[in-house]
Structure 1
């Protein structure tokens, strides 16, 4: 399984400064979740695309990871540490976040069969897939839906499509757009992973500090009172323009 971390700040900052006290403990999680890492970050207001940096080694001890955290100035970012599903190669094409235009997407969990969404994905998008993961298919389904729906509905509907067609452990994910960072929480508490790792493993939590909003998987310090649990099958929206936070049922 993987680990997710998202941040939105009031003004562009080096990522290490934006993440603050979470920088070291999140990096340490890569000693277990060590099958690559990725960062997608918006450098500030205006158009364009998020900057993307990826590696296929463990983030812990990877100079490129450290360089990206120190040298990337951003006001919104998604970070991902990968633990590859059995049988899926550790290659750049399978490394999150997946990106397209002004979108970046990262997933924590798995569903099976991995191609269960293929008939619901625009054929042109499916043909251009860069890797072989179920997670990228999740993103391609979201992209297909975004042609007619807003990000909140697209995430919820794509997850519902998976639940109707596949077995899964977790559908937790982050979607970064030009306007906002979105987080979706969903898990199967009866999956083998949930039973083995415990009820907190797939929790997504978020906190607002005034000048930043964070959303993170379990494994980093999340003291009670400062962090709120994102309820299952709900979408957290964090606006980039004013740090407005809303949870959509």
Structure 2
């Protein structure tokens, strides 16, 4: 399973400054979530950029340099813990996507063949890797390519997965587009992962301040009332113009 962190700010700044005191505790989670890292961000032209690596985040000079130099107002960070039998390679490293959207997932969905049934052959042919997570993204992308808004695409795709997949450990995900950050929280409360980790392991919470909002999975202290949980089976939308979550 993986770890997710997103940030949206009313003013651009280096990602390291936006995440501030929560950055180092997040990166240190790579002691366990050690199978690569990825960063998605909105660039100065309004497109989505993605940079990733397969080294440990806490040992990566490339990551630390990027976080200090990349000036943006929206970003998503992902630490990967590879699912069994999935290779640790760039093609399987989150976030997935292009200049239109970048998508990161924390969980597992089976069978992969069901996910592929939600994707057109032409779009499926663009897959780089072998993960269920990339196919989750392509199923969302399929909806967006046919006119759905990001929140509609995520809602339709997660409903289809819930109704048709044989196994869902978690659908927790973040998608960054040129217009906003979209998050989704849902997991199986009976999964063995919950038994090992505790009921909060797949939750997403957010912390809003005057100029920015952080959204993250757990792993370091996130005291309430500063951090508030996001509702399950709902899409939360965060924009630079309205830092509070809009729940769909």
State the TM-score, normalizing by the size of structure 2: 0.96
Q: Which residue of 2 aligns with 1:88?
A: 86
Superposed displacement of residue 244, structure 1: 4.7
Q: Which residue of 1 aligns with 2:104?
A: 106
8 Å CA contact 2:213–2:244 kept in 1: the answer is no
Q: Distance in 1 between matches of 2:244 and 2:232?
A: 21
Which consecutive residues of structure 1, in runs of 5 or more, have no partner in the other structure?
Answer: none
Work out which of the residue numbers 96, 113, 119 in structure 2 matches 1:121: 119
Q: Distance in 2 between matches of 1:107 and 1:206?
A: 17
Q: Which residue of 1 aligns with 2:132?
A: 134
8 Å CA contact 1:80–1:97 kept in 2: the answer is yes
Which consecutive residues of structure 2, in runs of 5 or more, have no partner in the other structure?
Answer: none
Aligned residues: 246
Q: Distance in 2 between matches of 1:63 and 1:100?
A: 24
Q: Which residue of 2 aligns with 1:75?
A: 73
Moved over 2 A (4+): 240-245
CA distances 1:3-57 after superposition (whole Å, capped 9, x unpaired)? 000001111111110000111000000110000000011134x43x222111101
8 Å CA contact 2:49–2:98 kept in 1: the answer is no
| RMSD, aligned α-carbons | 1.2
8 Å CA contact 2:2–2:78 kept in 1: the answer is yes
Q: Which residue of 1 aligns with 2:156?
A: 157
Q: Distance in 2 between matches of 1:133 and 1:25?
A: 27
